[in-house]
Homo-oligomer: A and B are copies of this chain.
C-alpha cells in the first residue's frame, strides 16, 4: 500500500505542463497526439482519465508493488507499454487486427470499443476469471434461450389489440438495447464504415450496431464478452467507484433484483451510508476494520480482504459465483448455481432451458452439487466471520436458507393455482407462460416478491423488504388475488 502511494506521489510530481504533462512524463507520443485534440473536444473523459491511476503510474511502476497490493496481475506487459502511463493510445490502438471496428485515424489504427481482452494485457487474472463469470454470458443467456425470447416479447414487446385481447409483438433492436440488454449487454456488430467531415478534417468511423452499450455481457467486435467499464467506469477506471454500492445499483435496483435497496436498509448499509466518508476505498488489499467497518457489495462478493495481521480473509475474484452457493433471483425457483456460465445449455426434465421444472425440481446435472455449495458458503462466511461469531453467522444462515425454502414453497402454491387455471382454460392455452394478466401476476410472485424476500434474508436487510416493501405482504396478497380471480371465473361459468 505504501509503495503504491509512493509511486502515485512520484507520478503526480511528474505530471505537469501542456495537457497537464511535461516533456519528461512517461506519456507515449501517440497518447500525446490524442490529447492534443481530445483534451479540448472531450474534456470530461480526459479529466476523468487524468484523475485515474492509469494516468499516474506506468505498468512497470505498478508491478513493483508487493503481491497483495499489486493491481497488475499479468506476469509481464509487452515491451514499450511498460514504461508509459496507460493513456488513450495504449488501449484504443491495441491489437488493431483483432477488433472489427478498427479504423484509420490520424495515422493510427484505432478502435472505439475497448474490450476485456484488451484490459487483459495488464489484468490477465481478472479477465480470465470474468470469462467464467455468469455475467459475461448475460447477453447470450438472455438472447439465445427460447423461453426467455418469449419472456422478452411479453415483457418489453409492443402491444397489439385484437378484439379486446392484447397480443405482444417482439420489441425492435432499439427497445431491446434500451431495456433488458442495457444491463445484460448488447451484441456489437460492425455494419461497415463511413467517412464524414469533422472540425478536424475528413474522418472515418465504424458503424457499430447496438452501440453504445456497457452491459456486463456485451459481445465486443473482437468476439470477447463483457465490458470492464460496467463497473470500472471509463475513463477513471477507479477501484474506489467499483467498490461502492452505487455502482452495483445500476443494474441491481429494480423489484426483480432489489439488492441495492435491501442493502441500504440493512445494518451494513446503514453503517456504510453514515460512515463511509471516512473509509479508504482505494486501499489494496482492503483491511477489515481499518479501511472499512462494514461490508459493501464488493466486500462480500469480490474484493481481496485481509485481517489486522495481514492474513488473507478472502481472495479477490471476478467470478462472482465463487462466494455464491445459490442463485436467488431471476428465475421461478431459487436453486443451486449453474455449473457453467453459459446457461443456454441447461435442460430441465421437461427439456425446457430452465434450471428447475415448473414444480421446482432442479435440473441437477447442470447445477453445482452440495459439496461445491458448501465450499462457496464457506468462502462467503469467511467474510461474515471477520465481524461476527460462528453462532451469529449460523443463526443468520439458517434464516436465509429457510427463506429460500419458504419462497419456493409459496411459488409452488401459486404455480399450482395457475395449473388449475390453465386446466380450465381460464388463461388460454397459448404457447406462452407470460402473456396473460393472471400469468403476469404469477410472475410478480416469484420475480419480484420471492426475490425480494430472499435478498432481504441474504443481506439481513429484513424488516420492510421482508414484509411490506415488495415482500411477503405482496406475495400473499397476489396469491389471494389469483385465487379470487380464479373463483370468480368459476362463478361466472357456473351461471
Contact = CB atoms under 8 A, between A and B. Distances in A.
A112 B480 CA distance: 42
Q: State the main secondary structure of chain A at its contact with B.
A: helix
Q: How large is the interface on A (under 10, 10 to 19, 20 to 34, 35 or more residues)?
A: 35 or more
A271 B235 CA distance: 11
- With most chain B CB atoms within 10 A of its CB, the pick from A178, A277, A294 is A178
B288 A386 contact: no
A129 interface: no
Interface stretch (A57-65, A238-246, A316-324): A238-246
A433 interface: no
Contacts of A211: 391-392, 395
Nearest to A481: B437
Contact of A40 (B41, B257, B308, B466): B308
A2 interface: no
Interface string A447-467: 110000000110010111111
B289 A48 contact: yes
Given A483-B161, A488-B492, A273 B244 contact: yes
A256 B399 contact: no
Contact of A44 (B249, B251, B387): B387
Q: How many copies does the complex hold?
A: 3
Interface in A413-442: 413-414, 416-417, 420, 435-438, 440-441
Give the most central of A157, A271, A294: most B CB within 10 Å. A271
A30 interface: no
Contacts of A47: 288-290, 293, 308
A477 interface: yes
A343 B351 CA distance: 56
A282 to B, nearest CB: 12
Contacts of A165: 483, 487
A254 B469 contact: yes
Contact of A156 (B171, B460, B472): B472
Contact of A307 (B40, B207, B274, B466): B40
A146 interface: no
A94 interface: no
Interface in A148-199: 154-161, 164-166, 168, 171-172, 174-175, 177-180, 182-183, 198
B241 A40 contact: no
A155 B112 contact: no
Contact of A274 (B39, B246, B277, B462): B246
A226 interface: no
A48 B492 contact: no
Interface in A379-400: 385-392, 395-396, 398-399
A15 to B, nearest CB: 14
A193 B386 CA distance: 23
A479 interface: yes
B266 A250 contact: yes
A214 B392 CA distance: 12
A58 B457 CA distance: 38
Interface string A466-480: 111101110011011
A142 to B, nearest CB: 11
A390 B468 CA distance: 37
A247 interface: yes
A359 interface: no
Nearest to A489: B488
Nearest to A155: B473
A417 B161 contact: yes
A270 interface: yes
Interface string A250-277: 1101111100000011110111011101
Given A40-B308, A42-B388, 16 more contacts: A47-B293, A47-B308, A156-B472, A159-B414, A159-B476, A161-B417, A166-B479, A174-B398, A178-B399, A178-B462, A238-B274, A246-B274, A247-B274, A440-B473, A440-B480, A448-B468
10 contacts: A40-B309, A42-B385, A47-B288, A158-B409, A164-B417, A164-B483, A180-B466, A212-B395, A244-B273, A250-B266
| Nearest 6 Cβ contacts at the A-B interface | A47-B289, A254-B464, A182-B462, A44-B387, A246-B273, A174-B402
